[in-house]
Structure 1
Amino acid sequence: MSLSVAPTHGSVSNNVAAPFLATTAIKLLSIIGLLMMPFQVSILMDFYELSAQKSGVLATVETTCLGFGVLLVAFNLIRLDLKKMALLGFSLALLANLLMLLRNEYEWLFACRAIAGLGYGLANATASRLIASLFKETEKVAGYLYALIYLITTALYYLSPTLIQWSGSAGFYLLIAGILTLLFPLILLLPSVTSKEESRSFELALLLQRGLPVFFAIEIILMMGLGASWSFSERFAKSIELGADKIGLYYALSSASQFLGALLAAWVAVRFGKLVPLIACLLPWGAICIILSHAETEAAFAFGILAYQFMLAFFIPYLLGIGARLDPSGRIAAVIIGVQIFSFGAGSSLGGFINDHFGLNHIGTVAAFACFLAVAVLPFVVRNFDTQNMHHLESRNM
């Protein structure tokens, strides 16, 4: 693996290992709640005895606060350097998950998920800014970084269903807290990183005029549909009466497929640009969501969850790459990924609504519609970024 640090950020040396490991730890911290969302939704329904819709609302609260945390970092509303911001996010996330052990009233759970989401958001925007601004080849670095994360989550997915079966909600939230604690020393490896002066490079008004609102609208629709399928994927498995051991096995294998998807994204990014890989990903992804939600056999579920996770891992580095090209400070990348995670998590509420009013199988149909809509619109938006926004920004920097 050959990676290099961009020569624009003060105290960061040319040694890429420490910044890369620290950024990976911060990114894992920031998405651990999202990665484990199917298990959390089931815990809220099975152990806290909440309806699917209320469980989805709690997931949406978490991701809404995550989005708020992203905006705080993206627009420099909290005056901390990126290392201190990551540590603040870590502290809030750890506290919130431990507080879940104390009480089970809905209002208490609501507050805990809100605090956790804020912590995840601060960490997520920090990691996205580091990836987009600290390293030279954004998609390549993001691909390797996510591949490492997915290797770690393979073990989590395999162990979680059995752990929950034996220890319930307490075991689950202690597991999350334990993982966060293990990440703490890696976060400390990050040197103090102060972003360069951003007022000139981050021309928000210009970018809003040239396609970002349409991009964000499509991103929200797409990720809400896909998030609904992800959040209720364990319910798909339980609907065909798969046991905890097999569910854990297939989630572990799906994380391994994410590892391959992220590596492929790193390889493809430097050879085929952005548009072709995006379309090649989204077209089959919609069909996969239908297969997953309509699975009637173990083989169909296994194929659906592995293929779904492969596509997700392939897709995310390209979002970071789009943001990095639009804004070298990394703030647009932070907002794009924040919107992605917020919308993905908000899909839990959408999935709960669909499940309660129309049935579980229809969740995949909605996700497929979102994918096909994105295929129709995103090529024009991304091409507009390349031909207008980047031309303008580059001409100003000459």
Structure 2
Amino acid sequence: MNPVTIFGAMVIGTASLLSLGVLPILLGGLDEVGRLSKAGIGQAAMFELFGLALGSAAGGYWMGRGAMRLKTVAAGLALAVVNVATAHSGSGVIILLDRAVAGLLGGLLFGAANAIIVRSNNPDRLTGILVGASVAPQIGLAYLIPVVLIPKFGIEAGFYALAAGAMAAAAFAVTLVDRVAIHVASERTRISFSGPLMLFCIGTVLQSGGLGAAWTYIERVANQHGLSPSIVGLAFSSALAGQVAAAWLSAWVVPKIAKWPTLFSLVLAQTVFTAVAVQIALPTAFVVSVCVFASAAAAAQAFQMAEIVRLDVTRKAAVLILPMILFGNGLGPLLASFATTEVDVLGGCWVAVAMSAISLLLYVVCAAVSARRRLTSPVEAKATLGS
């Protein structure tokens, strides 16, 4: 794949995910001005992330079948319009619909990037690079939106910033190809939905759901703990910086170290430190725990891509791994919203802890079943030795 095309895919993928790092700030801001309830925070996040998951799943196939450049321009411009519409929406219901459409359009953009990445020679490494690259601009926005943009221009300015990102994605469409090549030997076969693959997919949805629930409500948790806005800003910026470092580190080491033990450790860290953020109201503990659970989840994605490629050699499931993560990111806030009230949001984050813990259990079972199957298949055992 042409390096310019891969770079363009990285930029477009980054722009498509721009809202993820600042979604709690923007939705919390809508709550502050009375345009969204606390339960609505989780629901809006769910709608946007479900839209991202659906759009990226469909886009991974549809965007690459032809006219990818034109489709990317159209999706980018439409996403910019929807973000501007959200900025001026006064109704909670309209906001939910706006975010659902924004998620769907962002998902199509991400699908274009993903279609290129998973068909490269190093999809696991490029996934880690994309995760880190997508978080980098979120760090700047996580500071600018609450500290500069909202105080000066209101909550609307945050959505205008997202619109600018969508315009950038449209501009970089020229770097893409119009159609992606198909892996002749693999993509003309169906996905083999084996037991280990199904366990892995469910575990991945729950793990990302745990992150989505925690990330969506953590700003409200800090507010309930009585932590200052500066501590909240420090926690978010540190977490986003940690995600960049963790994702790029995992992209570098994923070919060199055992996949399952590393994935177990990362999901365990996500589970434990989410619980610490909910339970302990000390500023330092809060900042560190948010940074660790967010970074662990970001680092896990390269290992998740590596494992799903091994579990399904057709790579069709690999096209769905990032949409599955986004689906989980949306499912988590939805489930968490049922455990929150207008005066207590801690229950939502305990839902996040439970989802992460269950995902760890499913990964352990998946690894055990997969190892047993490899023992009965010498060819596969040799091919996957050390995984």
TM-score tier after normalising by the smaller chain length: 0.7 to 0.9
Cα displacement (A) at 1:148: 2.7
Q: Does 1:310 align with 2:295?
A: yes
Paired residue for 2:366? 381
Closer, same or farther in 2 for the Cα pair 1:293/1:81, shift >3 Å? farther
Aligned ranges 1:43-82 → 2 under 5 Å: 43-76=29-62, 79-82=65-68
Tell me which of 219, 232, 239 is aligned to 1:254.
239
Asked if 1 retains the 8 angstrom alpha-carbon contact of 2:88 and 2:156, the reply is no
Tell me which of 41, 45, 69 is aligned to 2:27.
41
Closer, same or farther in 2 for the Cα pair 1:26/1:384, shift >3 Å? farther
Q: Does 1:237 align with 2:237?
A: no
Paired residue for 1:201? 187
**What per-residue deviation string (whole Å, max 9, x for no partner) do you get for residues 92-116 of structure 1?**
3212101113331233223211211
Q: Does 1:274 align with 2:274?
A: no
Paired residue for 2:110? 124
Closer, same or farther in 2 for the Cα pair 1:246/1:202, shift >3 Å? farther
Asked if 2 retains the 8 angstrom alpha-carbon contact of 1:201 and 1:327, the reply is no
TM norm structure 2: 0.86
Aligned equivalents of 2:271, 2:9: Cα separation in 1: 31
Cα displacement (A) at 1:353: 1.7
Specify the code of the residue in structure 1 equivalent to 2:131. Y
Paired residue for 1:286? 271
Closer, same or farther in 2 for the Cα pair 1:186/1:102, shift >3 Å? same
Deviates more, 1:19-28 or 1:229-238: 19-28
Q: How many matched pairs?
A: 377
Deviates more, 1:275-284 or 1:44-53: 44-53
Q: Secondary structure of 2:307's partner?
A: helix
Closer, same or farther in 2 for the Cα pair 1:382/1:358, shift >3 Å? farther
Q: Secondary structure of 1:271's partner?
A: coil
What is the percent sequence identity of the aligned residues? 19
Q: Secondary structure of 2:349's partner?
A: helix
Q: Does 1:114 align with 2:114?
A: no
Asked if 2 retains the 8 angstrom alpha-carbon contact of 1:132 and 1:324, the reply is no
Cα displacement (A) at 1:323: 3.9
Aligned equivalents of 2:368, 2:67: Cα separation in 1: 34
Closer, same or farther in 2 for the Cα pair 1:75/1:37, shift >3 Å? same
Q: Does 1:352 align with 2:337?
A: yes
Aligned equivalents of 1:375, 1:250: Cα separation in 2: 25
Tell me which of 146, 152, 161 is aligned to 1:175.
161
Deviates more, 1:152-161 or 1:190-199: 190-199
> What runs of 5+ residues in structure 1 fail to find an aligned partner?
1-11
Q: Does 1:189 align with 2:175?
A: yes
Asked if 1 retains the 8 angstrom alpha-carbon contact of 2:21 and 2:240, the reply is no
Specify the code of the residue in structure 1 equivalent to 2:52. L
Cα displacement (A) at 1:75: 4.8
Deviates more, 1:40-49 or 1:350-359: 350-359
Paired residue for 1:335? 320
Tell me which of 134, 141, 165 is aligned to 1:149.
134
> What runs of 5+ residues in structure 2 fail to find an aligned partner?
none
TM norm structure 1: 0.84
Cα displacement (A) at 1:74: 4.0
Specify the code of the residue in structure 2 equivalent to 1:297. L
Aligned equivalents of 1:202, 1:92: Cα separation in 2: 33
Paired residue for 1:221? 206
Asked if 2 retains the 8 angstrom alpha-carbon contact of 1:223 and 1:343, the reply is yes
Cα displacement (A) at 1:297: 1.5
Aligned equivalents of 1:54, 1:391: Cα separation in 2: 48
**What per-residue deviation string (whole Å, max 9, x for no partner) do you get for residues 202-227 of structure 1?**
544x5224433333322222222221
Q: Secondary structure of 2:332's partner?
A: helix
Closer, same or farther in 2 for the Cα pair 1:168/1:72, shift >3 Å? same
Closer, same or farther in 2 for the Cα pair 1:185/1:357, shift >3 Å? closer
Aligned equivalents of 1:300, 1:75: Cα separation in 2: 43
Q: Does 1:86 align with 2:64?
A: no
Deviates more, 1:264-273 or 1:348-357: 348-357
Aligned equivalents of 1:174, 1:72: Cα separation in 2: 27
Tell me which of 16, 39, 42 is aligned to 1:30.
16
